[in-house]
Amino acid sequence: MTVALRILSAGRGVTLQDAGRFGYLRFGVSWAGPMDSLAHATANHCVGASHRATALEISAGALEATVEGGALSIGLAGGAFDIRLDGRRLPPSVVAHVEPSSILSVRPGRDGAWCYLAVAGRIDTPPVMGSAATHTRTGLGGIDGRELRPGDLLPIAGAVATGQTLEIETPHLQRRSERIRIVLGPQEDYFAPDQIEGFLSRSWSVSSRSDRMAYLLDGDPLAHEKSFNIVSDGIAMGAVQIPGDGRPIVLMADRQPTGGYPKIATVIGADLGALAQLRPGAQLHFAAVTLPEAIEARRVQQETLQRPLVSRPLLRTEFSSEFLLGQDLIGGVADEGWPH
């Protein structure tokens, strides 16, 4: 019998995501992919999977699941969620050994908006346009292009179970979220210098209307020096649009391919995950950096995932107190690439 992950309950926003659907923006097809690519890659790294592999993205809507057909090792990383296996609380970054009929629950904890569940093996769902990433607005990827729901069965190809449950050290996921770094432009000339200064000095809060498409920010509105309409151009993840009401919109994983509001700035890739992990009502400020600084921050993140992760055993285990994942769990990291 094939090992499979059975979904027992899933709230809003729980989907399957790999690194994203690339090469189709010019045809109007969005990337999708994880909201927090560093946490997504870390969960996969914990179980020796490719950084680009399909994992479950778990929102504040929470998840309960079990395993059928055999035991399975899973990796979890992301926000500080409340993770329990048969009622026993586990750390927010963990490799867990799950026996058939055991109940895994993942619920919002003290902070964070997204948690990722990766498997030792491969979630066997058919790719759409080269990717399993779910984009619910267009119905692409995942399972019929929709959020996961109770009763869904996710077959696991090449499932591995080590019998070990290990706490993972993930200091790289303890990111500063109160100050998000940006590179100004490409349409900062649509705003007077005092408005750019206001954008950087004001406190903004994440709106409850935010979702995978965009994080809407509340605060004192900005004024446009030129029109708030431009000829539509391409939208990168992290682009900060300023629409007519003057309140910033940060475009996220499910963003549209093009847009017609001026973009005052773009959140740097290294800080997108920290922004994504903010819950509605959270406060933040923006800090301008140069393009070379943004590239260097991204390089540091890349290097983090090339290093083995350190863990300590939580349950009965044959391993010593220091165990290097990504090399010893199931034979090494399958892909040294980065989810762009």
Using a pLDDT cut of 70, give the percent of the chain over it.
92
Cα separation, 122 vs 286, whole angstroms: 38
Q: Are 271 and 180 in contact (CB under 8 A)?
A: yes
Cα separation, 254 vs 234, whole angstroms: 14
Q: Looking at this protein, which amino acid is placed at residue 122?
A: R
C-alpha neighbours within 13 Å on the C-beta side of residue 162: 26
Q: Are 97 and 164 in contact (CB under 8 A)?
A: yes
pLDDT of residue 148: 98
Query: Is the confidence at residue 252, as pLDDT, over 60?
Result: yes
pLDDT of residue 305: 83
pLDDT of residue 317: 41
Q: Dihedral of the CA atoms 59, 265, 173, 131 (nearest 10)? A: 60
Sign for the CA dihedral angle at 247, 251, 257, 262 comes to positive
What are the residues whose beta carbons fall under 8 Å from the beta carbon of 233, sequence distance 6 or more?
A: 258, 259
| Paired tokens of 114 | 């997204």
Query: Is the confidence at residue 335, as pLDDT, over 80?
Result: no
**Mean pLDDT value across the chain:** 90
pLDDT tens for 167-207 read 999 999 988 778 999 999 999 999 999 999 999 999 999 99
pLDDT tens for 192-246 read 999 999 999 999 999 999 999 999 999 999 999 988 889 999 999 999 999 999 9
Query: Is the confidence at residue 334, as pLDDT, over 70?
Result: no
Give the residue-averaged pLDDT of 34-50. Answer: 96
pLDDT of residue 229: 87
Q: What pTM value is reported for the model?
A: 0.91
Cα separations in angstroms, 85 against 136, 168, 310, 328: 29, 16, 21, 23
The separation between the first and the last C-alpha atoms of the chain, rounded to the nearest angstrom, is 36
C-alpha neighbours within 13 Å on the C-beta side of residue 72: 33
Q: Looking at this protein, which amino acid is placed at residue 320?
A: S
pLDDT tens for 256-290 read 999 999 999 999 999 999 999 999 999 999 999 99
Cα separation, 184 vs 188, whole angstroms: 6
Using 50, 70 and 90 to split pLDDT, how confident is the model at 61? very high
| Paired tokens of 145 | 């292009």
Query: Is the confidence at residue 323, as pLDDT, over 70?
Result: no
pLDDT of residue 39: 97
Cα separation, 312 vs 282, whole angstroms: 32
C-alpha neighbours within 13 Å on the C-beta side of residue 152: 24
Using 50, 70 and 90 to split pLDDT, how confident is the model at 313? confident
Cα separation, 99 vs 255, whole angstroms: 38
Domains of the chain, with CATH numbers? Answer: 4-174+306-325 (no CATH), 179-300 (2.40.100.10)
Cα separation, 14 vs 153, whole angstroms: 14
Give the residue-averaged pLDDT of 61-84. Answer: 97
Please choose, from the candidates 252, 249, 186, the residue with its C-alpha nearest in 3D space to the C-alpha of residue 222.
249
Angle at 147 between CA 284 and CA 301, to 5 degrees: 45
pLDDT of residue 117: 98
